[in-house]
Amino acid sequence: METSLEVLGSTARALRVTVPQQQFVEQVENRLRQLSRTLRIKGFRPGKVPVQVVRQRHLPQVYGEVVEKLANDSLREALAAEKVQPVVDPRVTVEEYGEDRPMKYQARFDVYPELAESKIAGVELTDPEVAVEDAEVEEGMERLRRQDVDWKVTERTAAAGDQVAFLYTTCGMDETLAAIAEDSPDLALILEPGAMLEELHEHLRGMGAGDEKSVQVAFAERADGHPLSGQTRQFRIRVREVREAVLPDWEDAAWLAKCGGAGATHETIRDSVRAHLDYRRVEMRREYLAEQITQGLAAAKEPALPVPESLREWCLSVRLKEMGVPPEQEELGEDHPARRVALMDAQRITVFQALRALSRVEPTEEDHKQIEDAYAGQFKDSAAARRNARQNPDVRGHLQREASWDALIRWTLDRARVNKERMTLEQLGARTGR
């Protein structure tokens, strides 16, 4: 077998492979003999079909099977001989074949770009110094209580934090608002800040059961295509009932057991919440640093690491499949969210692989242990979580990737220009979009 590798660009490669004529002929003859023993052809006993008859009737099929098999088998050998590793499966084009000449084909593919250590020295990173504060733990414990809130009807008027059930009718500003019918839509809202219907919440505050009024509500502009985004509408609302939140008691042993397992106490729940927040802190720090490294090395403008086009398209196909987009709708503009996310995915994978090849850093046993400890600490049954981490391939793979990123981030931090910045967990979450 003969091979030659051609460099087409920073990541693009073309590998030409020539398979000897004799090898093609032998494969064809072997396949014809196999078919002669398995084909059923009228006029011949099973297993006794002459090879020449099979050749006359099925030679195009045999050629196709042999070409595919030889291309698959020889490509692996050719890639190993040239010491290249494609990012995704190569695109193979067969140029010629036959029993009277060698089989020739070309495989085009991308490889991950090489990275010079000097490029890392020019990257500027902000390493967040974040500790989980007691106030954040207390807030997390209150969120835990609110997950099991019970709603009790009250006679007073609605206030912040209450749930209000009401009937309503609505129309545009140039329409006539109809009266509320008893079969009008029924809606229940918890009066809290930051909601889509926050202005409507303001009108509901101070209303009691049986109160009715007409109001105008201006909805904020939203980027997600919500039908009410940027509109102003008329509402007529009638409150059916006001309900106040009744939270579980920290002295309730049954509720504590539900949250933290048998024997759980206020303190063990607190420890669990702190462990969960600490895992989020570790995850968000890794995500924040990885994104900075990615942008520094694979930014769209003058990248230190060009992103292989085939990897980008593969990431896009994965995103489209996750979104349920049919193939006929896959022609998307560059500004489509799926394309933007796919590019970010491809950039991060490129940087990860390039850092790994340059640094030769692999996670240590201590890295894996720290990641597993943080993962298991989130759960009330940490022993079961550890078993899951070791036995479930998806969880195990996820934790291994996290440990690998941690090792590469640590190596990169030693070489990049790094600023330390003290911030809260909430501020770090805002920077990572979580």
Q: Report the domain count for the chain.
A: 3
Q: What are phi and psi of 40, to 5 degrees?
A: -110, 110
Q: How far is CA 353 from CA 100, 118, 147, 356, 402, in A?
A: 43, 17, 41, 5, 14
Same domain, 268 and 406: yes
Sign of CA dihedral 139, 145, 151, 156: negative
Which CATH number characterizes residue 235's domain?
A: 3.10.50.40
**If you average pLDDT over every residue of the chain, what do you get?**
89
* Domain span at 81: 2-110
What does the pLDDT read at residue 211?
96
Same domain, 327 and 408: yes
Considering the domain boundaries, does residue 196 fall inside one?
A: yes
pTM higher than 0.85:
no
DSSP 147-173: TT-EEEEESS---TT-EEEEEEEEEET
pLDDT of residue 335: 66
As beta bridge partners, residue 113 has none
List the CATH number of the domain containing 388: 1.10.3120
Examine the fold and report which residue of 216, 246, 276 is the final residue of a domain before the chain moves on. Answer: 246
- Residue 300 DSSP SS3: coil
- Percent of residues, the chain, with pLDDT higher than 70: 96
| Pair (126, 99) in one structural domain | no
Both 399 and 287 in one domain: the answer is: yes
Return the number of other C-beta atoms located less than 10 Å from residue 359's C-beta: 18
H or E segment at 314?
A: helix 309-323
Q: What is the pLDDT of residues 83-142, one digit of tens each?
A: 999 999 999 999 998 889 999 999 999 999 999 999 999 899 999 999 999 999 999 999
Quickly list DSSP for 171-212.
EETTSPPPPPPTTS-EEEEE--TT-TTHHHHHHHTT--TT-E
Q: What's the CA gap between 317 and 327, in Å, rounded?
A: 9
- Give the pairing of strands 124-129 and 417-422: parallel
pLDDT at 429 over 70: yes
> Is 56 in the same domain as 188?
no
Q: Name the residue among 167, 375, 380 with its Cα closest to residue 259.
A: 380
Give the rounded distance of the alpha carbon of 100 from its chain centre. Answer: 51
Query: Please, which pLDDT band fits residue 328 given cuts at 50, 70 and 90?
Result: low
Q: How far apart are CA 136 and CA 130, in angstroms?
A: 12
User: pLDDT per residue over 346-399, tens digit each?
Assistant: 999 999 999 999 999 999 999 999 999 988 888 878 889 999 999 999 999 999
User: d(Cα 140, Cα 431) in Å, to the nearest integer?
Assistant: 20
pLDDT tens track for 242-289: 999 999 998 889 999 888 888 889 998 999 899 899 999 999 999 999
Calculate ∠ Cα 389-404-81, nearest 5°.
Answer: 115
Chain segment 77-88, per-residue pLDDT in tens: 999 999 999 999
